[in-house]
Amino acid sequence: TELLLLNGPNLGILGRREPDIYGTETLADIEQMVSDEVAGHGWKVVARQHDCEGEMIRTVQDHYDAVGAIVNPGALMIAGWGLRDALANYPRPWIEVHLSNVWAREQFRHQSILGSLASGVIFGLGAIGYRLAARALLPRAES
Ligand code: DQA
């Protein structure tokens, strides 16, 4: 049983990316955290990070058979219409996560074009948001 953990542009450099905003955890730390959360349920995490929207779309298309997905789309939240179409056709529950409190930031981050498609959205809690998303997916995805 696989859980897709998909991170978008500029998230591969977490730990070194504006740490005041995004924290000091690396993406590897986050992937480990999510794996630990679901391992007891026999779920394996498939972790992917892409800087290009096309690769994000392809990864979504390639993982229809996952139990669910956790997606931090990065700035694709703002205008990633192709990714939005891919997620609209995603047959499994998925949760949108943002590390930072996007509401407390620039106006252009105050809306996600993807959020209305997600089962839920978590933002502003840093890396632990991913862990909470994994926990929330467990009962949803198993049904
Ligand atoms: C982000 C928030 C986005 O607005 C930004 O473009 C990112 C990171 C977050 O995790 O807080 O790349 O998704």
Residue extents of the structural domains in the chain: 2-142
Burial state string for 27-42 with b = 16 or more CB within 10 A and e = fewer than 16: beebbebbbebbeeee
Tokens of 66: 């996952």
Atom index in ligand 1 nearest the CA of residue 8 equals 12
Q: Does ligand 1 come within 6 angstroms of the Cβ of 80?
A: no
Q: Does ligand 1 come within 6 angstroms of the Cβ of 75?
A: yes
Residue 101 marked in a binding site: no
pTM over 0.95: yes
Residue 85 marked in a binding site: yes
Q: Do the beta carbons of residue 91 and residue 66 sit within 8 Å?
A: no
Residue 132 marked in a binding site: no
Phi, psi of 122 (to 5 degrees): -125, 125
22 given a catalytic annotation: yes
| Edge-to-edge strands, sheet with 120-123 | 44-49, 2-7, 68-72, 94-98, 120-123
Using most ligand atoms within 8 A of CB, pick from 21, 100, 103, 123 the residue to mutate for ligand 1. Answer: 100
Could you please state the CATH topology (level 3) that the domain comprising 2-142 is classified under: Rossmann fold (3.40.50)
Question: Going by DSSP bridges, is the β-strand pair 94-98/120-123 parallel, antiparallel, or unpaired?
Answer: parallel
Full pLDDT tens readout for the chain, 143 residues = 999 999 999 999 999 999 999 999 999 999 999 999 999 999 999 999 999 999 999 999 999 999 999 999 999 999 999 999 999 999 999 999 999 999 999 999 999 999 999 999 999 999 999 999 999 999 988 76
Catalytic residue (one of 50, 63, 90, 98): 98
Complex ipTM over 0.95:
yes
